[in-house]
Structure 1
Amino acid sequence: MKLTERQRRFADEYIITGNAYRSCIDAGYSKSYAKARSHDLLENVGIKIYIDERLNLLKSNKIAEQQEVLEYLTSVMRGQQQDVEVLPLSVGKGVQELKTIEKRADTSARIRSAELLGKRYGLWIEKQETTTSGVVMINVGEWNDEIENEINTNHPNSTIFIDDIPLEDD
């Protein structure tokens, strides 16, 4: 669907600001039109498609995808990335010359990359094995000291929940 120049300007401004009213005015529409109909422009199929295409293009060019990040971290960890270091060299009295050299990523950067990859793959999760046992007793009716003493004697570390709400029949 073909957009007018003003619709295209509106869509471009909306991508920048996220404000339909302000984008409408900046695109050249009147304030009264912007106040009453700016959100109608966002429902226009052609404008929606244009905005989605532009956002996808911006996303693909500017934001690293998961695969790219993982590949980069892996290449740093393996020492395949090169760092540039600038070294000052003396060439005479008070005169220095700068020399740049390339070297592979230092150990701390490689370790940090390995840690990040390990976190991603869940390698550093501390696992704890716990075993619990318990007794669940459901006693419908009256609760008395005899039942409580039996539980405390046979299951001293148990938690007791007492429902002391009277039955509806009472």
Structure 2
Amino acid sequence: MEIRDAVPGDWPAIWPFLRQILADGDTYTLPRHPTEEWARSVWMQEPPGRTVVAVEDDGTVLGSAKFGPNHLGPASHVSTASFMVAPEHAGQGVGRALGEHAVEQARAEGYRAMQFNAVVETNTRAVALWQSLGFEVMTTLPEAFRHPVHGYVGLHIMYRRL
């Protein structure tokens, strides 16, 4: 697996799994049925943000991540990141590889920390992955996410120093 900067030609491979993940409505605080144009504008970051893809040797896009400053101005030294793995490639280490890459790149770019603003507490695989990469749950916003199966559940704010 290679992780590289995303190029515009990667979007047609990202959009189907991004659309499916958002439609499922159980992990992201984004609209469940966005237009493709809106989704592309949110996911395909412009500097200082970056979007990357994890690809197989044959070029198959397995997942994608975006990262950059969590805030601007005097708080721009803290990065944030978002990750999506194509469901058919879940459980193959793609999320871990993207997470490790994002942490390494943020550190290399001079960020002092990374913060995830909204990790759905019922997304236990993601919570366990981020904790294994050194992130801590700083707080949980009770009932801040309307899960399609579990109803109102909490959103974790997770953080780690770089």
More helix by share: 1
Q: TM-score, normalised by structure 2?
A: 0.22
Q: TM-score, normalised by structure 1?
A: 0.21
Bigger Rg, which one: 1
